[in-house]
A and B are shown apart, each in its own frame.
Chain A
């Protein structure tokens, strides 16, 4: 048998033999060791907006590996490009995950150094004593309110009396709640909600099980392209804006300014590669979405207008976090007012 990380095997045998023992072995590197060999050479660091902001000193990252996570084949995938912009010696390892909770747990356990998270999960976790902090933005847009093509829904107000698929709590639920509130509707009083995972939204709409769904990309665009659904406008007009995900650093690394600065710089470079000056570069996205993720070309062409990579975390994003917190407090999801300033570790954001 070939192996794999001795660390995870040791942990595993620990359980098999004793039951629960070796839990807190910490550290990263649960992987197959191929990430280091596949990265683009560090010579490409020269692109983008110049060197890191930590001053004249050049930190050494020899043999350092940072682990981060993305949702598989999701638009919020700028970390896949980090390695291209990595300083010499730094290896980036990107692990596919399937939920924000998984990312939280893995960061707390130290399995992930950096991870992406939307406002909802981060506020919930913050209330429970989660120690990770925001270092930059990661993605914007990427959500959609999709109505069945013949469901007679062209605005949020038309949702009254309809069945709508709602994903597990996240930014989509916050946006939907705000949208309904604006037109005087309440979820589960005026609108019937059907809890359903993102991946199953398109099929449910296609089958007519629901009249609409509040989902993510690419399922939203898949419904549009197939003709099964239409976009209901306005999802980015709430106080949440087009906040999608931010980049977080785990508790144990927050003193390592050099590393955070390097990672934020990589995120800046990756975001600028995909979305230079705030506009998507179709060729780079095509490489990611069509060649790597195998999206159908019509889906790629359509989805481009509804996604974007991001790194800036300005006052607008802080305002969105406040709006999210206010909404969650009001709906009873949060019981205590969060100290938002404690969540930000933005000193390492590069200058414009």
Chain B
């Protein structure tokens, strides 16, 4: 263990006082370290992350204003912002069923995409974690399934689209199967890897402490592999979200990707950019949420 600033860590010269009822405060992760260049303080760090995007938007505004970029290739930021506003808060006055709406339809599109994402992602976890544990813990299972998993995971989600449409038809089944395929492999691979690396001494200790063999997966392997599993979960979440747009090539009227394809057909570039920004923001928020939810589970492994 590195000699860090952990208030609990006392040199062993203090053994006699080690019994002191020290208030137990856990060291904050990401604190200053001696062996790294000092970074910005936590308060200003997120602001710093906005500098480059802000500069890019400013350059975009200047280039558009000066007429260096054709609005058919990249509309000015004000137009995109206006489209974003209409997408989120405009009034949806459409009356024809079957039209893929834009104005005022942000909530509906986002809700539809989120639903696809969450449902398929939960299924990916439900399949991916047990399968990964099987691959990681059972040599038999690994020999049987690992070559297949390794081969399938190299297939891009887009390549699954035709076969998915043939199997599931136009509609939600195809959409979810594609998002599932995007999300499941990182989860499987990370879970298999992490569970196969659980130190043997931990398992042996658990056995010597009377842990029943059938409880080892739940009591030892899963908790010990959790940091790796969570990494796979984060990757799967992001890749699943990236697959939502492919999933919305399946005859969907609702969904951020469905809106983008409709806008693309009619050369409505401002709407496409709004869709991209929506993907970026929701993907970021989803990852932040997953990190916040999983952090308490893996705090023990913080470096």
Contacts and interface: CB of A to CB of B under 8 A. Distances in A.
A133 B168 CA distance: 23
B258 interface: yes
A142 to B, nearest CB: 12
Given A70-B98, A80-B98, A202 B267 contact: yes
Contacts of A79: 98
A98 B118 CA distance: 25
B223 interface: no
B264 interface: yes
A12 B251 contact: no
Contacts of B166: 23, 105, 109
Contacts of B93: 291
Given A94-B98, A222-B72, A111 B167 contact: no
A222 B98 CA distance: 24
B173 A8 contact: yes
A30 B169 contact: yes
A295 B266 CA distance: 8
Contact of B177 (A15, A71, A97, A206): A15
Contact of A35 (B97, B101, B118): B97
A109 B123 CA distance: 26
Interface string A61-94: 0000000011111100001110100000000111
Contact of A2 (B115, B180, B252, B267): B115
Interface residues of A, number: 62
Nearest to B98: A94
Contacts of A83: 97
A199 B267 contact: yes
B57 interface: no
B172 interface: yes
Interface string B186-210: 0000000000000000000000000
Contact of A293 (B72, B127, B266): B266
Contact of B171 (A20, A111, A202, A288): A111
A11 B169 contact: yes
Given A30-B169, A102-B165, A93 B98 contact: yes
A72 B265 contact: yes
Contacts of B165: 102, 105-106
B275 to A, nearest CB: 13
B279 interface: no
Given A8-B174, A16-B180, A72-B266, 16 more contacts: A8-B168, A8-B176, A15-B168, A16-B123, A30-B251, A31-B171, A32-B253, A34-B97, A69-B170, A73-B268, A95-B170, A98-B249, A106-B169, A111-B170, A203-B72, A292-B95
Interface of A: 1-2, 4-5, 7-9, 11-12, 15-16, 20, 23, 30-32, 34-35, 38-40, 69-74, 79-81, 83, 92-98, 102, 105-106, 109-112, 198-199, 202-203, 206-207, 218-219, 222, 226, 228, 288, 291-295
Interface of B: 70, 72-73, 93-103, 115, 118-119, 123, 127, 162, 165-174, 176-177, 180, 249, 251-254, 258, 261-268, 271
